[in-house]
Amino acid sequence: MSRIEISNLVKMYGSHKALHGIDISIQPGEFCVLVGPSGCGKSTTLRMVAGLETISGGEIAIGDRVVNGLRPKERGIAMVFQNYALYPAKTVRGNMAFSLKLSKMPKAEIDRRVNEVAEILELTPLLDRKPAALSGGQRQRVAMGRAIVRDPEVFLFDEPLSNLDAKLRGQMRAEIKRLHQRLENTIIYVTHDQVEAMTLADRIVIMRDGRIEQQGTPDAVFHDPDTVFVAGFMGSPPMNLVDCMVTPGGLRLGGTELACTLPEGLRAGDRVTFGIRPDDIRPAADLPGGVPVTLPVDLIEQLGTEKLVHFRAGPHELIGKTGGRVDLAEGTEQRLAFDMAHAFFFDAETGQRIR
Amino acid sequence: MTRHLPAWALAAATSAAALMPASLHAAEIEWLQWFAAENTGGFYEELVADFEAQHPDITVKLVTQPFGKVRESIVTDNAIGVGSDVLGLNMPWTTEFLEIGILEPLDDYLARDDNSFETDQLVEAPLGKIDGKTWMVPLNAFPFVMHVNMGLVEQAGFDAPPSSWDALAEQAAAISALGDGTSGLGMPFSSQPPSNGPILTFLPLLYANGGRIMDGTTPDFDNPKVVETLEFLQQLEQSGALAPGAASRTGGVDLEEFIAGRTGFLISPGVHSSSITSRNPELDYTLVRVPSNGAEAYRVHGWEIGISADSDNKEAAWTFVDYLLSPEVNARVAKASNALPGNLAALDTVRADADATLVKQMDILSGDTPVEEMRQSPKAAASWSLMTEELQSMLRGDQTPAEAASAVQARWMDLIQ
Amino acid sequence: MPTAPVPTPTPDKEDAVTPSFRLPTAAGTPYLFLLPGLVILGALLSVPLYKVVEYSLYDNVIVERNPTFVGLDNYRDILGDPGYWSAGFNTIVFTVGSVIGHMIVGIGLALLVNADIHPRARTFFRSMLVLPWIFTAVVVALNWQLLLNPFGLLNYVLDWLGLITEPLDWLGNPDLAMWSLLVISTWRGYPFIMVSFLSGLQTVPKELYEAAEIDGAGFWHKFWHVTLPQLKPVIFGVALLDLIWTFQLFPLVWLTTGGGPGRATEVLSTLTFRLAFVDFEFARAATVAVSILIISAAFTVLYLRNEARRL
């Protein structure tokens, strides 16, 4: 269980700067998720922590040691790879025991550890199988088992669930969460899936183009995004983000006036990006305190417990929500309400939040 | 009315003519040989063109292969029935080829009145009858000689090349002793094909010692003269006169080393003098008789011509052979390879502008006894291959000259059983 | 109602969706397409093969105009000939030695040129190292003869280093000739192994090496635990292929030592050639060739089984 301190981390590929000075401070036992679209630098950051990529600038410290110059095996880390990277010629037991054998641990101790971890991960009946004879979920657990037996200071996960189907992914997510509660190791976990990030993380670091957009607790990044990118990235379906004109009484949304109070400093005639989550647009009857608008419904998506309501406001398409049993017809005008208490405003140019 | 044939009819007629086999009157013959491989100046292409100009009804296709390949090619081509009509031959192959039935007897052709040459003017050795018939005619002839690097001889303190065995032994050892990678004499006894080193170097020495290896068509290798000659080789080896590595030295390397000026003496066919002088004009070079132990005999060699027994165009083939043997053409061929003509009627023409080395060869030819034994030997190639193996072992010190001689004799007899 | 001749596809059975072409006239069509290939193969393979086997059952063919059938006499003669067994032994030494040499050098160099160096340097080394493969056997033989002969470069260097006092006749000394031949054969043949191995290396997932690195594996551990097991089928396959080729390799030996000195490097292929074209014993040559064929065929069956298992 160690603290991880990443400061001003830079990665250059030739003259291309892939990371522009990243600072992340991870507390002992913290579950930190790096999330962002592909190419944002999250995997690069993780691999630099692991020692699989050289560090072009800045510093990484694990515990009290700066690990910049250390080899992967000297860093006290274990890693779970996206494709599991199990040794195909070794049995499950051989895969899990490999690093222990290399560290010249006595055989009895190796057996004890492997059996114990296999028990935790329900791998005991599979110990003598080769990876080719395992299902995707089983391989995933072996990959984790291989990391756990080493009892590392830090676990690194590189998109470990992306090769699993949706159902298994949900199960494994929960399993990883339980494991973390039990082992209490420090974890850095890379994913492009914001649901995984939200459910697993103590701390979410949202990255984009080699920079950190925002970091904080899941609550903070979801409910209090600093930038229009974070607002749009976190949440499914995504937050509605619409370029609007500020009017004396509120906003002009397509052809409709939306009466609301705006942050100080916004003047009539300014352009602003208006953001509101689908949860905060509901049929007027369900949301008494909201700002009512009547708009045409384009499309209904039935999700079961709720429905997504696509409607048009001038050139913009927005999404709202309603209960799964509410009966709405496509193509009709509906009276909807916007919960402007949870609306966000971003600078149309810089994307920075205007509070 | 027929003056204006339609163009298409003309075209049809001409292309039909083109499709007609030209051989209705004309013949195409193939000439398989290695001669053109040893003369890169295009001489043989011109020769063929000249022949075709004189005989418009015959075309000659020149098929050229390196010497080492020709023997195999003749045998395999014959086996699958695609043999060439006119064959470049080497005397030692005679008996082998007769057994397979490759060669056409030439007696009837030689007896014709309208030949361009007199049969009794031809170099005799290849004509000798085997099974009562003549199988080949000589295109040219040359004696085996000893090529001499005079520079090394003088450096070693002698003013003239050796003519006796004792002198050869003394000079060769002295040249080896000069150091700096020089050797007195090379013995190309590599097993690598054609592995005919002994017949290139050992036989000429044996003949100059008055010895023979055949008794008629029976091998007679374990006789005192052979043993004496082998002992001489052993003595050369022990005194350091021979270039190291005889067992891996090929005929090609032996020649190259001499041309490069690293060996004092080279025993090989006289024809090599042209490549020696053209490849290294700087070399202070001459050629002499193979040093003798009293006997004035030399191994004769030559490029021979035969006709394939399976040829469909034997008449045309003979016409070509006849052309090659005519004094005028034969002289040109001899000059082109710096050899002596197969038709001795051409001798004067060749002598007219011959260089010193060729004149020396002529003297050897005219004064000494020519010997060629391999042509009567059954399994000639196999026999010299095993000769090579036993001589390697003798020079290595694994057996005495007498043991080597009996080993060759025993294996050779075994071979022809 | 009786069953329809063509079953109607049922959506719950995947294989039933594949349309079935059962037109009676089309039954032989695929074979018709194969015919030209089969005819050519037949002419190129089976005729010579048949001829060789036939030759081995007669007395001296080609030389005799009317050879007589002698059954297995040639086989009895050959199997009773010490020269055959010594050539057989040399063949095994040459083949196994060459394959081991190819493997060690080929794999070693593949690992080296697979290193993460500048791409241009890597391309340079890769192309340089393939060179021995593209020379003809004649050129290889000639160059090595020059290199190894008593006044050649190798002896010069050894002498200069003070390692020898007398020049060694690498190809002419019966104790050294086979070793020299193995060195030449290794030099000549490693590129095939190197190239096969190199392409195999590129199929090993990079993540496996990373996982091993994190597990604490050094160069040898990674080679032993990741590279080798991953490439085992490739190695086994190319080794067998190499074995089959080397077993019947002819030109390199014939042109370099001619089987000598004596018969120190005589292998079955050179023995075959010697019997045929030096001794004109074509029937016995065919007999030795058939024995080579039988052994090669056994290796080939092994190879094909291995390939079938890989697929």
Q: Tell me: the pLDDT tens digits for A8-23? A: 999 999 889 999 999 9
Whether C260 is in a domain gets the answer yes
Mean pLDDT across the stretch B314-330?
A: 94
The pLDDT value given to residue A169 = 87
Residue C208: pLDDT band with limits 50, 70, 90: very high
CA distance A82 to A88: 15
A8 shares its domain with A99: yes
CA distance A66 to B130: 97
Taking CA atoms, B38 is separated from A258, B72, B272, B336, B364, in Å, by: 103, 18, 10, 10, 23
A232 touching C, CB under 8 A? no
- Given a contact cutoff of 8 angstroms between Cβ atoms, the answer to whether B403 and B374 are in contact is no
Burial environment of residue C68 by CB neighbours within 10 A (0 to 12, 13 to 18, 19 or more): exposed
The pLDDT value given to residue C25 = 57
Q: Name the minimum distance, in Å, from the CA of C244 to any CA of chain A.
A: 28
Q: Which residues of C touch B249 (CB under 8 A)?
A: 149, 172
Q: Select the residue of C205, C225, C232 nearest A85 (Cβ to Cβ).
A: C205
C232 touching A, CB under 8 A? yes
Residue C9: pLDDT band with limits 50, 70, 90: very low
- Given a contact cutoff of 8 angstroms between Cβ atoms, the answer to whether B300 and B370 are in contact is yes
Instruction: Give the contacts of A197 (CB within 8 A, at least 6 positions apart).
Output: A33, A35, A191, A204, A218, A234
What does the angle CA A91 – CA A95 – CA A99 come to, to the nearest 5 degrees?
A: 150
Q: Name the minimum distance, in Å, from the CA of C245 to any CA of chain A.
A: 29
CA distance B382 to C274: 8
Token representation of residue B315: 């008449």
Give the 3-state secondary structure percentages of chain A, helix then strand then coil, rounded to 5: 30, 35, 35
CA distance B303 to B90: 6
Instruction: Give the contacts of B272 (CB within 8 A, at least 6 positions apart).
Output: B147, B255, B266
Domain count within chain C:
1
ipTM, two decimals: 0.81
Query: For chain A, how far is it from start to end, CA to CA, in angstroms?
Result: 38
Q: Name the minimum distance, in Å, from the CA of C166 to any CA of chain B.
A: 10
- B and C: number of Cβ contacts within 8 A: 102
Chain mean pLDDT for chain C: 84
B242 shares its domain with B286: yes
Counted residue by residue, chain A has a size of 355
Pairing relationship of beta strands B297-307 and B137-149 according to DSSP bridges: antiparallel
Long-range contact pairs involving C289-294 (C-beta distance under 8 Å, separation at least 24): C289/C52, C289/C56, C290/C52, C290/C53, C290/C56, C291/C78, C292/C247, C292/C248, C292/C268, C293/C49, C293/C52
Whether C15 is in a domain gets the answer no
Range in A27-31, A168-172, B325-329 with the lowest mean pLDDT? A168-172
Q: Using one digit for the tens of pLDDT, what is the confidence trace for C267-311?
A: 999 999 988 888 888 889 999 999 999 999 998 898 888 888 766
Q: Name the minimum distance, in Å, from the CA of A77 to any CA of chain C.
A: 8
Do residue A103 and residue C214 have CB atoms under 8 angstroms apart? no
CA distance C243 to C296: 9
Mean pLDDT across the stretch B234-256?
A: 91
* DSSP state letters, A262-321: --TT--TT-EEEEEE-GGGEEEGGG-TTSEEEEEEEEEEEE-SSEEEEEEEETTEEEEEE
B276 shares its domain with B313: no
Do residue C258 and residue B72 have CB atoms under 8 angstroms apart? no
Q: Which residues of A touch C207 (CB under 8 A)?
A: 81-83, 85
Give the neighbours of chain C: at least 3 Cβ pairs within 8 Å: A, B
Write out residues 19-58 of A within 8 Å (CB-CB) of C: 50-52
Whether C66 is in a domain gets the answer no
Q: Where are the beta strands (DSSP E) in C131-222?
A: none
A178 shares its domain with A317: no
Which residues, listed in sequence order, are joined to residue B61 by a DSSP beta bridge? Answer: B30
The pLDDT value given to residue B18 = 44
- Given a contact cutoff of 8 angstroms between Cβ atoms, the answer to whether C191 and C130 are in contact is yes
Q: Using one digit for the tens of pLDDT, what is the confidence trace for A298-324?
A: 999 999 899 999 998 888 899 999 988
Mean pLDDT across the stretch B278-294?
A: 91
Which domain-ending residue is among A233, A259, A293?
A233
Give the neighbours of chain B: at least 3 Cβ pairs within 8 Å: C
Half-sphere exposure (Cβ direction) of A290: Cα atoms closer than 13 Å: 22
Does residue B64 have a pLDDT over 90?
A: yes
Taking the mean position of all CA atoms in its chain, how far away is CA A327?
Answer: 34
- Given a contact cutoff of 8 angstroms between Cβ atoms, the answer to whether A301 and A307 are in contact is yes
Residue C27: pLDDT band with limits 50, 70, 90: low
Q: Using one digit for the tens of pLDDT, what is the confidence trace for B256-267?
A: 999 999 999 999
Domain that holds residue A270: 240-347
A192 compared with B23, residue with greater pLDDT:
A192
Do residue B248 and residue C170 have CB atoms under 8 angstroms apart? yes
Does residue B395 have a pLDDT over 50?
A: yes
In which order are the strands placed within the sheet that holds A65-66?
A: A16-26, A4-13, A57-62, A65-66
Mean pLDDT across the stretch C42-69?
A: 82
A93 shares its domain with A127: yes
Mean pLDDT across the stretch B180-199?
A: 88
CA distance C86 to C262: 12
Indicate which CATH number applies to the domain containing B48.
Answer: 3.40.190.10
Q: Select the residue of C205, C214, C226 nearest A73 (Cβ to Cβ).
A: C214
C174 touching A, CB under 8 A? no
Does residue B1 have a pLDDT over 80?
A: no
C143 touching A, CB under 8 A? no
Angle of helix B224-238 versus helix B401-416 axis, rounded to 10: 130
Question: Using CA atoms in the order C295, C301, C302, C304, what is the torsion angle rounded to 10 degrees?
Answer: 140
C44 compared with C98, residue with greater pLDDT:
C98
Interface of C with B (CB under 8 A): 62-63, 65, 145, 148-151, 166-167, 169-174, 177, 254-263, 274, 277-280, 282
Residue B8: pLDDT band with limits 50, 70, 90: very low
B73 shares its domain with B193: no
The pLDDT value given to residue C40 = 86
Taking CA atoms, B407 is separated from B211, B239, C172, in Å, by: 18, 24, 20
Does residue C19 have a pLDDT over 80?
A: no
Please tell me whether residue B87 adopts helix, strand or coil conformation. Answer: strand
Give which of B124, B29, B91 is closest to B301, Cα–Cα.
B91
C240 touching A, CB under 8 A? no
CA distance A230 to C60: 91
Amino acid at B412: W
Q: Select the residue of B192, B253, B385 nearest C255 (Cβ to Cβ).
A: B192
Indicate which CATH number applies to the domain containing A301.
Answer: 2.40.50.140
Q: Which residues of C touch B100 (CB under 8 A)?
A: 62-63, 280
B181 shares its domain with B287: yes
Whether A354 is in a domain gets the answer no
B101 shares its domain with B198: no
B295 shares its domain with B407: yes
Does residue B86 have a pLDDT over 80?
A: yes
A81 shares its domain with A108: yes
CA distance A231 to A245: 20
CA distance C263 to B393: 11
Give the neighbours of chain A: at least 3 Cβ pairs within 8 Å: C
A141 shares its domain with A176: yes
A154 touching C, CB under 8 A? no
B235 shares its domain with B384: yes
The pLDDT value given to residue B3 = 43
- A and C: number of Cβ contacts within 8 A: 63
The pLDDT value given to residue C138 = 86
Chain mean pLDDT for chain B: 87
Domain that holds residue C247: 73-310
Give which of B284, B287, B289, B292 is closest to B272, Cα–Cα.
B287
The pLDDT value given to residue C202 = 86
Give which of B152, B153, B126 is closest to B139, Cα–Cα.
B126
Token representation of residue B232: 């001489």
Domain count within chain B:
2
Q: Name the minimum distance, in Å, from the CA of C208 to any CA of chain A.
A: 5
Whether A352 is in a domain gets the answer no
B223 compared with B364, residue with greater pLDDT:
B223
Sign of the four-CA dihedral A12, A15, A17, A23:
positive
Which domain-ending residue is among A183, A217, A233?
A233
Do residue B389 and residue C148 have CB atoms under 8 angstroms apart? no
Q: Select the residue of A71, A81, A103 nearest C211 (Cβ to Cβ).
A: A81
A225 shares its domain with A272: no
Chains A and B physically touch (3 or more Cβ atom pairs below 8 Å): no
- Given a contact cutoff of 8 angstroms between Cβ atoms, the answer to whether B190 and B247 are in contact is yes
Sign of the four-CA dihedral B293, B295, B296, B297:
negative
Q: Using one digit for the tens of pLDDT, what is the confidence trace for B195-222?
A: 788 888 999 999 999 999 988 888 999 9
Interface with chain B: mutation pick from C147, C278, C284, highest number of B CBs within 10 Å:
C278
Q: Select the residue of B101, B379, B385 nearest C65 (Cβ to Cβ).
A: B101
Q: Using one digit for the tens of pLDDT, what is the confidence trace for A104-122?
A: 999 999 999 999 999 888 8
- In B, minimum Cα distance to C167 occurs at B244
Percent of chain B with pLDDT over 90: 56
The pLDDT value given to residue C24 = 54
Whether A355 is in a domain gets the answer no
- Given a contact cutoff of 8 angstroms between Cβ atoms, the answer to whether B44 and B271 are in contact is no
Q: Using one digit for the tens of pLDDT, what is the confidence trace for A222-256?
A: 999 999 999 999 988 899 999 988 988 888 887 78
Chains A and C physically touch (3 or more Cβ atom pairs below 8 Å): yes
Other CB atoms within 10 A of residue C71 CB: 9
Q: Which residues of B95-128 are buried (b: 16+ CB within 10 A; e: fewer)?
A: bbbbebebbbbbeebbeeeeebbebebbbebbbe
Residue found under tokens 């953001």? A275
Mean pLDDT across the stretch B292-301?
A: 86
Interface with chain B: mutation pick from C63, C151, C154, C250, highest number of B CBs within 10 Å:
C151
Give which of A132, A319, A144, A348 is closest to A235, Cα–Cα.
A319
Q: Where are the beta strands (DSSP E) in chain C?
A: none
B251 shares its domain with B136: no
Does residue C22 have a pLDDT over 70?
A: no
Other CB atoms within 10 A of residue A302 CB: 9
C279 touching A, CB under 8 A? no
Do residue C151 and residue B244 have CB atoms under 8 angstroms apart? yes
Residue C14: pLDDT band with limits 50, 70, 90: very low
A83 touching C, CB under 8 A? yes
Q: Name the minimum distance, in Å, from the CA of C205 to any CA of chain A.
A: 8
The pLDDT value given to residue B20 = 43
Q: Which residues of C touch A98 (CB under 8 A)?
A: 212, 215, 217, 225
Pairing relationship of beta strands B58-64 and B27-33 according to DSSP bridges: parallel
Q: Which residues of B touch C167 (CB under 8 A)?
A: 244-245
C310 touching A, CB under 8 A? no
The pLDDT value given to residue B392 = 93
The pLDDT value given to residue B288 = 92
Do residue C169 and residue B99 have CB atoms under 8 angstroms apart? no
The pLDDT value given to residue B17 = 42
Domain that holds residue B345: 24-141+301-368
Whether C85 is in a domain gets the answer yes
Pairing relationship of beta strands A57-62 and A77-80 according to DSSP bridges: unpaired
C204 touching A, CB under 8 A? no
Element (H, E) at C21: none
| Residue A55 DSSP class | -
Do residue C208 and residue A87 have CB atoms under 8 angstroms apart? yes
Instruction: Give the contacts of B53 (CB within 8 A, at least 6 positions apart).
Output: none
Q: Which residues of C touch A190 (CB under 8 A)?
A: none
A303 shares its domain with A213: no
Whether A293 is in a domain gets the answer yes
Q: Select the residue of C172, C174, C257 nearest B245 (Cβ to Cβ).
A: C172
Does residue C1 have a pLDDT over 80?
A: no
Indicate which CATH number applies to the domain containing C86.
Answer: 1.10.3720.10
Q: Select the residue of A77, A83, A90 nearest C207 (Cβ to Cβ).
A: A83
Rg of chain B taking only CA atoms, in angstroms? 24
The pLDDT value given to residue A266 = 85
Does residue C162 have a pLDDT over 70?
A: yes
B256 shares its domain with B343: no
Furthest C-alpha separation in chain B? 95
The pLDDT value given to residue A143 = 92
Whether C9 is in a domain gets the answer no
Taking CA atoms, A101 is separated from A94, A107, A155, C211, C218, in Å, by: 9, 8, 20, 15, 13
Does residue A125 have a pLDDT over 90?
A: yes
Pairing relationship of beta strands B183-185 and B137-149 according to DSSP bridges: unpaired
Does residue A43 have a pLDDT over 80?
A: yes
The pLDDT value given to residue C11 = 42
Domain count within chain A:
2
Q: Name the minimum distance, in Å, from the CA of B346 to any CA of chain C.
A: 36
Mean pLDDT across the stretch B140-169?
A: 93
CA distance B350 to B341: 8
The pLDDT value given to residue B220 = 92
- In A, minimum Cα distance to C226 occurs at A87
